[in-house]
Amino acid sequence: MPRGTSGWSTEVSLVARESLTEEIRKNTKLVMPEEQIPPAKMPLTQKAAQSSPLVAVSSKLVPKLVEAGVRVHTVGVDSVTSSFYYIGEGGGEERVQVEGDLVAAVGAMLGDRAETSAIERVLDGLTDRLLRSLSRDRVSEIGVELAAQLPRAAADGTGTQGTDLDAFEKQLSQLIGASEKYSSSAKEIADNIAGTYERKVNVPLFGEARKLSMGPFDLTVGEKKVPLPTYERWVMSGPLQDTTKAGSVPPPGKPLPSAPPRPASVPPPAMKAEDAQRAAEVAAAAAAKKKADEEAAAAKKRADEEAAAAKKKAEEEAAAAKKKAEEEAAAAKKKAEEEEAAAKKKKAEEEEAAAKKKAEEEEAAAKKKAEEEEAAAKKKAEEEGAAAKKKKAEAEEEDEEKKPAEKKKKADDKKEPKQSEVSTLKVRRAESDRSSSIMTYAAIALLLAAVYLAYRVWFSH
């Protein structure tokens, strides 16, 4: 019968049944738990092994299964030290490891409210909540407890070590025998609480079932913070009602009076009542598990759809961002090319203007220089002409001064013999030749000056 793991001092490694494919079992030479149970001697135990969603595995197989891509969950509980640890590894997922003292963790979380009663309330169902949270709702406390009482999947014939299959078969037989007459009521209880959104429903045997909820909180176990979602359970308590009597099952909305819930530490009044209550709890747990599985599947589907939508949106946003970046890059390139072309054009225009200005300045300088040279040549020609004219005037003046002397000389010569006349004539002719030479040189100089001036004026234009 399910008793929880609060009294454990045990470690067990488990895997989901569906993960042990035919190929993995063949490669690891693994023998399943139901294959190690004699069906004729222990039919109920074998059926339980076949139905268990979790399979306990030998510690020697854990490395091989992890290597084969199977997610292995290792759970350890020690009631003496209130310690708990969980290791999840393999399956292509991140390794998860949590270890710590649960009582100390709860006390630290409660702080000033850490009284014994408050700690016990939080500890109630805490192992199940931790296992569901750490394994992503693939491992539960009742699943671990069932798998731990069955043979381990092994490859060396050690799967049944540490188990008492005879005692387990006997317990199952007693439980089924004691609860057989309540089977229809248990099924009705399961049907009543499955799929309902009510927090109280009428049920056979107990009159009323109540849904208890524990709010979400974060619990730091060791050094790791574990988020625990809302936890809900159906609770049924009170004296067992005889369903064989007429009117013993309360009509909807009118439950029979029931005793207040008993604390977990108070034993039930009778063994049969305990067996029936446990049977109803097992049925309720199975129904609740089925509902939880369906809700988990729906949540997974929603999560997958949301992830696909988010991925599509991210791809569309990435494509839009890429297109925008390309457009901006093209625009920036075009702008840069236009600016470069404008800069080149401006530079060419500036260079052309500078060249034109330089040419104009050079032309003006050349013209000015030609004008200055022309003026200088003209001035020089004028000065030379004036000098020549002055020289001519001086020569003429000198000639005029010489004429009286010559006249006197002529008169004197008339008185002298003819030889003196001849000498005088020679002197006159020499002076005349000299004056003629001077005039010739002046004319040539003026002609050269005129030619040079005309040359400068002609080539300056």
Domain boundaries along the sequence of the chain: 9-180+214-225, 368-460
Of the ranges 159-168, 265-274, 306-315, 406-415, which one carries the lowest mean pLDDT score?
Answer: 265-274
Rounded to an integer, the average pLDDT of 290-311 is 79
Is the pLDDT score of 279 beyond 50? no
C-alpha closest to that of 134 among 40, 221, 263, 17: 221
Share of the chain above pLDDT 70, in %: 80
C-alpha closest to that of 89 among 56, 67, 60, 58: 67
| 8 A C-beta contact, residue 156 and residue 60 | yes
Quote the CA–CA distance of 403 and 50 in Å, as a whole number. 172
What's residue 252's pLDDT?
Answer: 43
- pLDDT tens per residue across span 82-135: 899 999 999 999 999 999 999 999 999 998 888 889 999 999 899 999 999 999
Is the pLDDT score of 139 beyond 80? yes
Is the pLDDT score of 192 beyond 60? yes
- The residues near 36 (Cβ < 8 Å, ≥ 6 apart) are 151, 159, 160
What's residue 243's pLDDT?
Answer: 55
Quote the CA–CA distance of 142 and 75 in Å, as a whole number. 13
Is the pLDDT score of 7 beyond 90? no
Cα 8 to the center of its chain, rounded Å: 45
Q: Cβ-count burial of 431 within 10 angstroms (0-12 exposed, 13-18 middle, 19+ buried)?
A: middle
Quote the CA–CA distance of 436 and 327 in Å, as a whole number. 99
What tokens were used for 378? 């003209």
Q: Which residue has the tokens 């049925």?
A: 283
Quote the CA–CA distance of 358 and 352 in Å, as a whole number. 10
What tokens were used for 358? 């330089």
| 8 A C-beta contact, residue 151 and residue 36 | yes
- The residues near 272 (Cβ < 8 Å, ≥ 6 apart) are 178, 240
Phi/psi of residue 173, nearest 5 degrees: -65, -45
- pLDDT tens per residue across span 152-161: 999 998 999 9
Is the pLDDT score of 284 beyond 90? no
What tokens were used for 254? 């009118």
What's residue 347's pLDDT?
Answer: 92
- pLDDT tens per residue across span 421-434: 556 666 666 666 66
**Mean pLDDT over the full length of the chain:** 82
The residue among 217 and 399 whose pLDDT is bigger is 217
C-alpha closest to that of 14 among 51, 66, 50: 66
